[in-house]
Amino acid sequence: MTEQMTGRKGPAGTERPGGAATGPSAPSPRDLAARSPHHQAARADQPRPAEAPLSAPQQAAPPQAAPPQAAPPQAVPPQAAPPQRTRPAMRPQVTRDTAFFWAGTAVGELRIQRCRRCGALRHPPGPMCPACGGASDGGYVVAAGTGEVFSYVVHHHPPVPGKQLPMVVALVQLPEGVRMVGEMPGIAPDQVRIGLPVRAAFVRIDDDLTLPAWQYWPGGTNPKAARDPAAKAAEGTLPDRVIDVTPTFVIASALATRDFTDVHHDRDRAVERGARDIFVNILATTGLVQRYVCDWAGPDAVVRAISIRLGVPCHAGDMLTLTGQVTASDGAKRVVSVTGRCGLGDHVTGTVRIEVPR
């Protein structure tokens, strides 16, 4: 009896004659060989076929190497800001001929070299008198410390140690007849003009240096009148009078006014009493004020009254500058205000009442 063989169905297969089933559940001998470890190792050694490149919109950019990362900054402990260093000021060259000038600025005096042989004044100081040819002997006078701008420059560049630019440097005409250069601190360049009245100031740099400077002085003489005596008379401003206060002048004026006090003729006694030197007495000062006004008003003027007030002493070796201004006028009557200034400041202020016959 022949036995009928029937094929078995796999879970997802199909029947074939002889009962052989095909499908995922029945791998072929080739698939089994491909799954063997030996076959996989052999295939791994063979080169893989190149893959087709992607289209332009889908092609990926080639990977770039990451840039090396810098080391993170190290924390710096906070430090105080370095102190601001002030640039040192320019220092003048002090010589045997100029030492007296810088000694004067240290005590607030504007000293002018004076030849003891001929009395000529000069600035800047030098080793020889240009008038008589005599050698410098250390003589000097103390200027009144007033003047007017003769010329000036506004300095913008180059930088100057210890100075803030722009700065004004003025050449000042002194009533003593010399000219002196100095800075004008604290004034705008557009406010400076030729003829501007100024007075001396002293800028202390340190213990060893004090520089002279100039500042605007509203009470100074009118620039136009200073150059034109006729204009002075028309404007009621008297011309300046500069007096060289020598030791002989101090002693002679004291004797002429019968003032025999020792501080007016004995230097040692004057120093013992606290003065720097012998100084002008009050009677001589009164006479100087009267003479100053009368020389301006003319010989026919009659003095009706003089009122003065003394200020700082005027010592021997100083310069006394008298200035005057008509403050009131009524017909033939005039009231003149007078100021006498020396190196230490105002020596005398006062008024003179005069009458000028027509």
DSSP symbols for 175-215: TTS-EEEEE-TT--GGG--TT-EEEEEEEEEETTEEEEEEE
Q: Please state the pTM of the whole predicted model.
A: 0.44
Please state, in angstroms and rounded to a whole number, the distance separating the CA atoms of residues 302 and 355: 5
Tens of pLDDT along 21-74?
444 455 555 554 455 544 544 444 454 544 444 444 444 455 555 555 544 434
Q: 114 with 101: CB under 8 angstroms?
A: no
> 75-79, 132-136, 185-189, 247-251: which range is least confident on average?
75-79
> CB within 8 A of 210, min separation 6: which ones?
102, 105, 106, 202, 203, 204
199 beta partners: 146, 215
Q: What is the CB neighbour count within 10 angstroms for residue 286?
A: 17
Tens of pLDDT along 85-96?
445 677 888 999
Tens of pLDDT along 287-337?
999 999 988 888 788 999 999 999 999 999 998 999 999 988 888 888 999
Q: Which pLDDT does position 284 carry in this prediction? A: 94
Tens of pLDDT along 195-233?
899 999 888 888 888 999 998 887 554 444 444 444 444
Q: Which pLDDT does position 160 carry in this prediction? A: 83
Q: Please report, for the chain, the start and end positions of each structural domain, with discontinuous segments joined by +.
A: 99-216, 229-355
Q: What fold is seen in the domain 229-355? A: Thiol Ester Dehydrase; Chain A (3.10.129)
Q: What is the CB neighbour count within 10 angstroms for residue 103?
A: 14
